[in-house]
Amino acid sequence: MARSTNPTSSPRTPAKSPSSSRAKKPAPAPKKYVDETEKPAVAVRMWLGVAHAVGGMFRAFGPETLEKDQR
């Protein structure tokens, strides 16, 4: 059925904001994603980077003992 066309006695007021007596929701726990891998600490990553660089330098500037056809 259609609405009545008679005006209401009082204009509608907007909804009130939630009162402070309500309990607040706790903050959500941080989400751990399945595809996200856990990285090692920064110091460990730096140490492995230095080791990689030093190993590469020794390999690049070290004596070549293998012949080209033996590689």
pTM for this model (two decimals): 0.42
The answer to whether residue 44 sits within a structural domain is: yes
Pick from 21-25, 29-33, 40-44, 48-52 the range whose average pLDDT is largest.
Answer: 48-52
The answer to whether residue 1 sits within a structural domain is: no
Domain residues for 47? 37-62
**pLDDT tens per residue across span 45-70:** 999 999 999 999 999 998 888 787 87
The answer to whether residue 52 sits within a structural domain is: yes
Number of domains making up the chain: 1
User: If you count them, how many residues does the chain have?
Assistant: 71
> Helix, strand, coil shares of the chain as percentages rounded to 5?
30, 0, 70
The answer to whether residue 17 sits within a structural domain is: no
